[in-house]
Structure 1
């Protein structure tokens, strides 16, 4: 998608000082953060609605602004990365550049808290975001801020979503200083680093965040507050991840055994052992959630039985046939029948 430039042809390489109101009608705020804000605006020249990212000069250096704009514009050709127009300028107090507007909003507001999204919708989203990340990684670029707020939705049925916000994007292998705190998507190797400690940028960090994002979409919860051993939920996960216990952590019992194996790969504690983002493509035709996960009256024991029952499904085939259950049916239906039979016991 291309868009006519400002009448004065201002770009990041030819940054002119303009009065925002002379060229755009600001309609409303779309989002605010420590970086600045994003506003919905109508371009007076074309009548097109655009999203303007406004970065205050008080907290943004010119080279930081130019780097973010250039990465955004460079990555725009990918169909699942938000389109940035070749329009950048400065006002007296801010640096500004223009991007396409997503009418549905961002992914954060689309995830029902404590419930999660439908598995079908999650698969649509992760397929597209994985493609965007794989493209970035092929260009030796690391996003470094994967989270629902940075995934824009263009169609309500999730058939078109795009990755955005390249303010933290850096080249793979670069050594930078840790300046910000940790969030649930931050990998453990970064959580362990202290402020101002040197850290090496790696695509494995995006892989970890992608795995956490996947968990959030499917459950409506964070798996932990911080990937730090002091966090009880993370500690429980690490104990299971390292196979020091066969007991599935409480928050992970809703997933099928095969998909738990994927989580082991994408959320490996050791960065060098994590799988590539594209690994998720191998699992798109599998069931990710156990069929009994939505039972309102299920107990922890029920969930244990459901999880272990799916894990042993193949071994139970003969027993099930002896109980009049045909196992040579659709895999999903078979799993449902196995779960129902186990729960009846």
Structure 2
């Protein structure tokens, strides 16, 4: 179901379906190595046999991939790839006997998930606030661009944010495998993930369930806004705030209770334990990005109003600085460089 039939995406899909060539990967590409793998298939680092151009080739098995799904992902990715904070495409799509494939920009670096893993004495610290803000600004810009084209990413998570450097001076949003046009109806999804919004979790088919009783959910930019809020939390802490947005999850329920407080006379005491490190201004931002009422949820672009404000409390920043300094001293001592 689409709210915009006859859109440019539909035309691109139709044209690509008519011109999708048939060739085997090894005929035109030298396979260097595999650089990614998931339920969708795999990503190969390849070079073009005739031009030598390095590329990332996304390869999806026909046995588990519908042609329409492949075409939708490719055409949406191609349509949006002109944005500097979205992974670029080469305009190369084809099918082999066993796979559907398209070539995209090779991004040398790591994804955000690899960077936010705890490293310092098992302490969960995330990345520095200055780097986090640079990352947030760029992803907000990419999402605003996506939403302005009537599309929703639907898979905003740390693994899909690629870093071209360690200080987040340049980041790119990747993977449009779940992207859809605004207004598309979701009847159900399989299971839940930490970055899914509460309304998305209502149409989750849990283990043992045979059907979902909730009405179909319309795909809206607010789904990305909620996920974006969760990602910001992850960037600054190194972990997810909860496992799923269901009443059975205590961490989510604490946040939901905080959101539903009509008055917060003492915001320092009212915030849930996992959120104590954040300033009142940051909590205000989170409250807007992850408003339980979809109608009150802000747009991703509204984070720009909080860039000049502190997100982490002073005592937390000082504690992290102390931990980092002590760790450096230990490393130097072990190497006889005190």
**What is the distance in 2 between the residues matched to 1:282 and 1:296?**
27
RMSD: 1.8
Match of 1:50 among 34, 51, 55: 55
Q: How does 1:54-133 map to 2 (within 5 A)?
A: 54-113=59-118, 114-133=124-143
Q: 1:149-177 CA distances to partner (integer Å, 9 max, x unpaired)?
A: 11112233321111111111111111122
The answer (yes or no) to whether the contact 1:12–1:87 under 8 Å persists in 2 is no
- Alpha-carbon distance change, 252 to 240 in structure 1, aligned in 2, over 3 angstroms: same
Unmatched 5+ stretches in structure 2: 1-14, 119-123, 206-210, 321-338
Residue by residue, what CA displacement relative to the aligned partner does 1:318-345 show, whole Å, maximum 9, x if unpaired? xxxxxxxxxxxxxxxxxxxxxxxxxxxx
Q: Deviations over 1:101-130 (max 9, x none)?
A: 111121111113221001011111110000
Worse-matched range after superposition: 180-189 or 104-113 = 104-113
TM value normalised by structure 1:
0.80
2:199 equivalent to 1:189:
yes
Shift in Å, 1:11: 6.1
Alpha-carbon separation, structure 2, partners of 1:192 and 1:152: 30
Q: Does 1:206 align with 2:229?
A: no
Aligned with 1:274 (options 284, 297, 320): 297
**What is the alpha-carbon distance in structure 2 between the residues aligned to residue 227 and residue 186 of structure 1?**
7
Task: Work out the CA distance in 2 between the residues paired with 1:296 and 1:124.
Answer: 22
Supply the distance in 2 between the matched residues of 1:103 and 1:20 (Cα, whole angstroms). Answer: 22
Given the alignment, which residue of 222, 225, 228 partners 2:243?
A: 225
1:251 and 1:191, CA in 2 relative to 1: closer, same or farther beyond 3 A? Answer: same
Report SS of the residue matched to 1:54.
strand
Verify: 1:140 aligned to 2:150, yes or no: yes
Going from structure 1 to structure 2, the CA distance change for 1:296 and 1:122 (only over 3 Å counts) comes to closer
SS of equivalent residue, structure 2 residue 57? strand
Contact 1:12 1:88 in 2 (8 A): no
For the 8 Å contact 2:189–2:203, the answer to whether it is kept is no
| Alignment correspondent of 1:339 | none
Cα distance in 2 for residues equivalent to 1:203 and 1:35: 23
More moved, 109-118 vs 213-222 = 109-118
TM-score of the pair, normalised by structure 2:
0.82
| 8 Å Cα contact 1:12/1:69 also seen in 2 | no
Tell me which residue corresponds to 2:6: none
Q: Is 1:169 equivalent to 2:179 in the alignment?
A: yes
Partners of 1:122 and 1:218 within 8 A in 2: yes
- Between structure 1 and structure 2, the one with the greater Rg is 1
Q: Does structure 2 conserve the Cα–Cα contact (< 8 Å) formed by 1:207 and 1:266?
A: yes
State the Cα distance separating 1:44 from its structure 2 match: 1.5
Displacement after TM superposition at 1:294 (Å): 4.7
| 1:156 maps onto 2:166 in alignment | yes
Residue 242 (structure 2) pairs with residue 242 (structure 1): no
Secondary structure of the 1:53 match is strand
Q: Distance in 2 between matches of 1:136 and 1:294?
A: 34
Aligned to 1:260: 283
Q: For 2:282 and 2:37, how far apart are their aligned partners in 1?
A: 35
Higher relative contact order (CA 8 A, sep 6+): 2
Corresponding position of 2:39 = 34
